[in-house]
A and B are shown apart, each in its own frame.
Chain A
Amino acid sequence: MQLIEGLKRRDLRALAKAISLAENDPLKAEEVFGEVISQPPMSFKVGLTGPPGSGKSTLIRNIVSRAVEENMSVGVLAVDPSSPFSGGALLADRLRIAIPNLDPSKVFIRSLSSRGHLGGLSPGIVVSVKLMDYYGFDLLLLETVGVGQAEVEVMYLADLVGVVLVPNLGDDIQAMKSGLMEVADLFVVNKCTLQGAEKLRLELESLIENSPRFQNALWKPPVFSTDALTGEGLEELWAFIKNSPRDENFLKLLEKKRKRQVHFQIYQSLLNYFRLKAEDAMKLLSLDYYSPTVVRELIKKILEGREEE
């Protein structure tokens, strides 16, 4: 309750603590922040995803600094992986994103751990994004963990998804089969001064041009070449991001996306509920072997637990 009032007062510490609650206990946070999560989406959300080390955080740093120059406020949620062994995490996106001496009321950066979640984000991310949205930023940026080919949840949370690639990770067959390719609203070929960058850009363009998905499509993802260290190509990328919310075709796309976002939010919440139940049920039995009987027994326990509530 106190936290909600803090959020309304636009108290940064309340926002930070509210996000902790969402990450620690998404289901409880849903209850506590019911009023917040049922608000319609407000801020424009841009997600960046792509393989480890491709330059997502460094690009975000560039985007943040351009947005601030234009007097916009920016919120960033950046996810790094948790350790499968200890459950701990070393969160270091902030190290690349943070710019010294920025006004904290204009730029809010929060590092999150994936906490074992496999979709590229975190179990509490839906509620955390809602909280950031409610607090209100002109621009909300989401960075996924370094991803492979299948972690595509960011498409259900961001309005505009950028897939950040670097040269020499494979050829156009990799590009064709990867789920990442389907979530992109735009591509960034980062580290564009490296050998192979131009080839990658041409391959992507030809793939988009010839892909059955994009025949007569409302939206064909553009490809940007950037160097996040020197800032090369950032002007064009930023202009595109900034102008998309006014693009007619993008707005049509967004309408569809927002429906998908709602479905995902509810689905994610159900998954959190049953995941916790499953974890509790696992503690009740001694699990020495894998068999359909064991699984049925556990499911029975989960459902029994449900009726008690």
Chain B
Amino acid sequence: MEKGKVRILIAKVGLDGHDRGAKYIAQALRDKGYEVIYTGIRQTPEDIVKAAIQEDAQFVGLSLLSGAHNQLFPKVVQLLKEKGAEDIVVFGGGVIPADDIPFLKSQGIKEIFPPGTTIDEVVDFIEKTLKDAAH
């Protein structure tokens, strides 16, 4: 990935209105020096992909607590691919049962952060992903 500020789109996908976690993560990433674009709640996968491309985000972080992650997260990855933007890294968090994580990863979601996640874990993931991509 090119150098410069790392831009991360934090998005609430679907109809779920729980936004505390997403806002927490967005602010914490800003405090770690990233440029965070926060979309707000009730975004369709189409809106998120459009925003990720226009904003030139290197990462899209999805937040979902309602249980619809198995449908909505893979949809975002698939639409990015259709737009030729599969280089944008998708990760996510929220109330997601451990049993669902292998499926989500097989669908191209790079990492999942369940309740209790600390910001340092997220930063480690981002930095490691950037480092791997640089090689």
Contact = CB atoms under 8 A, between A and B. Distances in A.
B3 interface: yes
Interface string B21-60: 0000011011111111111100110110011011110000
B5 A86 contact: no
Contact of A83 (B7, B31, B40, B83): B31
B84 interface: yes
Contacts of A23: 4-5
A289 interface: no
Interface string A155-168: 00000000000000
A163 to B, nearest CB: 26
B38 A90 contact: yes
Nearest to B44: A100
A85 interface: yes
B38 A16 contact: no
Given A91-B36, A113-B35, A16 B5 contact: no
A88 B35 contact: yes
B4 A20 contact: yes
Contacts of A82: 35
A111 to B, nearest CB: 5
A25 B3 CA distance: 10
Interface string B57-96: 0000000000000000000000000011100000000000
Contacts of B37: 91-92, 94, 111
Interface in B89-133: none
Interface in A93-141: 94-95, 98, 100-101, 104, 108-111, 113, 115
B56 to A, nearest CB: 4
A19 B51 CA distance: 14
A82 to B, nearest CB: 8
A242 B135 CA distance: 50
A266 interface: no
A16 B56 contact: yes
B33 A87 contact: yes
Nearest to B31: A86
Given A92-B38, A98-B47, A12 B53 contact: yes
A89 B36 contact: yes
Contacts of B83: 13
A86 B33 contact: yes
B37 to A, nearest CB: 5
Contacts of A86: 30-33
A108 B3 CA distance: 24
A161 to B, nearest CB: 24
A86 B6 CA distance: 13
Nearest to A95: B40
A134 B27 CA distance: 34
Contacts of A98: 39, 47, 51
Given A86-B30, A86-B32, A94-B39, A12 B54 contact: yes
B128 to A, nearest CB: 19
A115 B84 CA distance: 29
Contacts of A12: 53-54
Contacts of B40: 92, 95
A177 interface: no
A260 interface: no
B64 to A, nearest CB: 17
A113 B44 CA distance: 25
A193 interface: no
Contact of A13 (B39, B47, B84): B84
Interface of B: 2-5, 7, 26-27, 29-40, 43-44, 46-47, 50-51, 53-56, 83-85
Shortest Cβ-Cβ A-B pairs, 4 listed: A24-B4, A95-B40, A88-B30, A16-B56
Given A90-B36, A111-B55, 19 more contacts: A12-B54, A13-B53, A16-B54, A17-B56, A21-B2, A86-B32, A88-B32, A88-B33, A89-B36, A90-B27, A91-B36, A92-B38, A95-B39, A100-B43, A101-B47, A104-B54, A109-B54, A113-B5, A113-B35
